[in-house]
Structure 1
Amino acid sequence: MSVQEGKAPSRHALRVLADTDGPLSAEDPGVLPERAGQRSATLEQLPSAAAARTTGSRPPTAR
């Protein structure tokens, strides 16, 4: 697998998140760290959620 192929799932996940996340307000740049943290948490949960869907089990709860 090439590096580009390995990065494709992450880029796809970020595109999905961008579609569901509203635009940034120029008046509130302080939300960037919070949004980054939320996206990071969501990205960390995706493999577990996908595995749970595949196996029919419940995904682990967020920490």
Structure 2
Amino acid sequence: MKVIVDEDKCCGAGSCVLAAPEIFDQRDEDGIVVLLDAEPAEDQHAAVRDAASVCPAAAIALSDA
């Protein structure tokens, strides 16, 4: 799995951080998403899918590549 984030779409809600804190963080100054791991381990895939699905701005894209 490959994770792609669109910082321009991110609204700083933090839902991704709550769903997958090992993969996502937020910048202190504005709350915009920070991708910690673009290719998470398989045991993180479910959490990353949850994070993408709860993102209110649809700023997280997932690829099987």
Q: TM (normalized to structure 2)?
A: 0.27
> Going by fraction, where is helix more abundant, 1 or 2?
1
**Structure of greater relative contact order (alpha carbons < 8 Å, 6+ residues apart):** 2
Larger radius of gyration: 1
Q: TM (normalized to structure 1)?
A: 0.28
> Going by fraction, where is strand more abundant, 1 or 2?
2
